[in-house]
Amino acid sequence: MKRLAVYCGSATPADPVYIDCAKEVGRTLAERGIGLVYGGGRLGLMGAVADAAMAAGGEVIGIIPQALVDAEVAHQGLTELHVVGTMHQRKQAFTDLSDGFINLPGGTGTMDELWEALSWAQIGYHAKPVGLLNIAGYYDHLIAFYHHMASVGFLRPQHAGILLIDSALDGLLAQMASHEPIETITKIARATFERGGTLARRDRRDRAGIDRTRIEELCRRQPPVRAQDARTGVVALCLVPRVRRHCRRAGPRP
């Protein structure tokens, strides 16, 4: 993994554990030679993760919409700062520039980024690992809800393991490094369609075999009567009315 996108809040909670976590993430990524791609802000956890990575000599790329630049919250001391027009362009840039995603504690914006990274992985828009760093039990309830989605049936069994979870950064990075792409929704749908077509063809063949067996049985019980159409000369094998649908038309007889 050459670069990782880090999603986190721009707030500074009263408990210093969250800012300390962001600093650890920024410093560790820089020490491991992993570039940081983040939201481009200078406040809260966002500013802490960027400052720590820069102080450790790491590469830091910020992606920020123009509206937040106008609000004077952009970090001006980064390796690169990309200014985009919309939030969607911002998240697309995160995906394009990174090899995976780490979610630190944050608010609604961080949740939006997390769920989009997960849903894009399900669909197959990317095949990159999505990690959740559960510091101080911050995401305990979200993790329980994620498992609840799977137990109810809104999350396919193939996708229950998309979200990689750990309370320690080293453990999370190890999971992300060994990540293998999942079976996407599009692949599942295609396989289901193809399997359904195969089963349908097999069912038609089986039914045809049953029909032939039934006709032979009926013919043994009551030989069919040949009838010739006076106008066309076509000869048909006529069985009893209730099984007339099994009759086969023969070609013109000499």
For 189-222, write each residue's pLDDT tens digit. 666 655 555 555 666 665 555 556 665 666 666 6
% of the chain beyond a pLDDT of 90: 66
pTM of this structure: 0.74
Look over the chain and give the mean of its residue pLDDT values, rounded to a whole number: 85
pLDDT of residue 252 exceeding 50, the answer is no
Q: Running DSSP on this structure, what letter comes out for residue 245? A: G
What's the CA gap between 68 and 83, in Å, rounded? 9
- How much is the pLDDT for 246? 46
Written in H, E and C, the secondary structure of 199-223 is HHHHHHHHHHHHHHHHHHHHHHHCC
% of the chain beyond a pLDDT of 70: 74
- How much is the pLDDT for 197? 55
Nearest of 113, 71, 114 to residue 88 by alpha carbon: 113
Environment class of residue 167 by beta-carbon count within 10 Å: exposed (0-12), middle (13-18) or buried (19+)? middle
- How much is the pLDDT for 159? 87
Specify whether the CB–CB gap between 27 and 20 falls below 8 A: no
For 131-177, write each residue's pLDDT tens digit. 999 999 999 999 999 999 999 999 888 888 899 999 999 999 999 99
**What average pLDDT does range 98-110 have in this prediction?**
97
